Amino acid sequence: MVTHFFKSVVAILFLLTIACLPADPYKHFEDQLQAAVGESINDAPSYSSHARPDLAFTERLPNGNLGYHYAYENIRGLCRYMFEVDPTTHRIVDWRYDGEDKDKACFVNPMKMAK
């Protein structure tokens, strides 16, 4: 009886510990960008834990949409990404990384995300 109780307590503690582990900050960044699809570009959230990313430039894309290119510096380097925006509705229709070092510099600490 004590052994069964002990095993149950250990299992519960293990599950609670696993649930509290930090999420993958790279995946969290991508999830946040994906969550912005369908939102207005005017309400695009900040992905830097300390400051809003700078709008580097905008451009007209070959498909007629607008590309809003953002960049912010963090401890791992320069994170660059783009929102593709419908020019008539100003809604974000897609996103993508700008640059090759996406796995190194683009991340969000889920515990410190700015709102």
56-115 tens-digit pLDDT: 899 999 999 999 998 888 787 888 899 999 999 999 999 998 866 566 788 776 655 444
Instruction: Give the global pTM.
Output: 0.70
Model pLDDT, residue 5: 64
Residue 2 lies in a domain: no
The residue ranking higher by pLDDT, 11 or 87, is: 87
Sign of CA dihedral 95, 97, 102, 108: negative
Q: Of 8, 23, 26, 24, which is closest to residue 101 (Cα–Cα)?
A: 26
Range of the domain at 40: 24-105
Full strand arrangement of the beta sheet holding 66-74: 54-60, 66-74, 77-85, 92-97
- At residue 91, the 3 state secondary structure works out as strand
Domain count within the chain:
1
Dump pLDDT digits (tens) for 26-67.
Answer: 788 888 889 999 999 988 766 554 456 778 899 999 999 999
Is residue 8 included in any domain, yes or no?
no
